[in-house]
Amino acid sequence: MKLSIPAIALVACLVAVVPASPNEAVPDPRREGIAAGDRLGVLVDRVRFEQVRLSTLEANFTQVKQSELLLEPVQSHGVFSFSAPDRVRWEYQDPDPISLLINGDVMTTWYKDIGQAEKIYVGEHSQRILEYLGASSSMGKLLEYFDVVMRTPNDLSKPFHLQLTPRFARVEKRVREMEIWIHPELYLPVRLRYVEGNGDVTEYDFTDLKVNAALPEDRFDLTIPEEVDLREIDLNRRSLQ
């Protein structure tokens, strides 16, 4: 299984790094008196507020993929880890064990079941690639490209729900529609569903979120065994090894 770049891009809104404002008040999208048209903006501000305070994040995830090329939906499970500002690890545990690590300007993917790995040295291209992956985009930036319908449940234990529709044809070619569910207390995305331009449907559910907990330092170490077929790409030299 190859990892989907759109999947990485969209779920990266979990860990977007955005600047903080000094003495910023805590935005509350449930506050009485907010005009209906302003409530979405307050929710986005609250998500940004929580992202500013995020130093580490770890969660279990379930991915469900549907495609015309698949006989039936494929469900995968794993662990997502993040440490500010630029270390991310996706550990797919089943059915296909895959490790994907972004550590600074190096991105490593290890397909364990087929004994292959790829290491990309992004160097001076790192900012461009992080933008492409979505890792440097806040939810506010994401919403610039979509029209959004927000649903605020009466049950305070239920997540906020955002239905997004592309505003531009160039975006719709890659993402036809998207839904995001925001945790009612943590104000971080905990579920995401999107339809790609080719009709494939992908859904992520995040559970057991651990926010700002201490993570083992080796969580972001990925040693590729010598017997694994490793392909290295240096984008600065445009060379393959």
Using one digit for the tens of pLDDT, what is the confidence trace for 150-174?
A: 999 999 999 999 999 999 998 888 8
Name the residue among 62, 51, 73 with its Cα closest to residue 7: 62
Instruction: Give domain limits for the chain.
Output: 5-240
* Euclidean distance between the first and the last CA atom of the chain, given in angstroms as a whole number: 23
What is the CATH class of 5-240?
mainly beta
Tell me the β-bridge partners of 192.
Answer: 180, 204
The per-residue pLDDT of the chain, averaged, comes to 82
Structure tokens at 13: 């809104």
* Tens-digit pLDDT profile for residues 86-101: 888 999 999 999 999 9
The pLDDT value given to residue 157: 94
Is the CB of residue 184 less than 8 Å from the CB of residue 30? Answer: no
Report which DSSP code applies to 20.
P
pLDDT over 90 (residue 224): yes
Q: Using 50, 70 and 90 to split pLDDT, how confident is the model at 233?
A: confident
Reported confidence tier of residue 208, pLDDT bands at 50, 70, 90: very high
Residue 20 has pLDDT above 70, yes or no: no
Q: What H or E segment, with its residue span, contains residue 213?
A: none
* Predicted pLDDT of residue 103: 85
pLDDT band at 106; cut points 50, 70, 90: confident
Token pair in block for residue 62: 């379930």
Q: What is the mean pLDDT of residues 129-134?
A: 41
Which of 123-127, 169-173, 179-183 has the highest mean predicted lDDT (pLDDT)? 179-183
Kindly give the residue spans of alpha helices, DSSP state H, lying in 156-212. Answer: 169-172
Report d(CA 205, CA 193) in Å as an integer. Answer: 9
Percentage of residues in the chain with pLDDT exceeding 70?
Answer: 79
Q: Which stretches within 55-212 are classed as H helix?
A: 126-133, 139-143, 169-172
pLDDT exceeds 90 at position 209: yes
pLDDT tens digits, one per residue of 26-62: 999 999 888 888 999 999 889 888 888 889 999 999 9
Q: Is the pLDDT of residue 241 over 50?
A: no
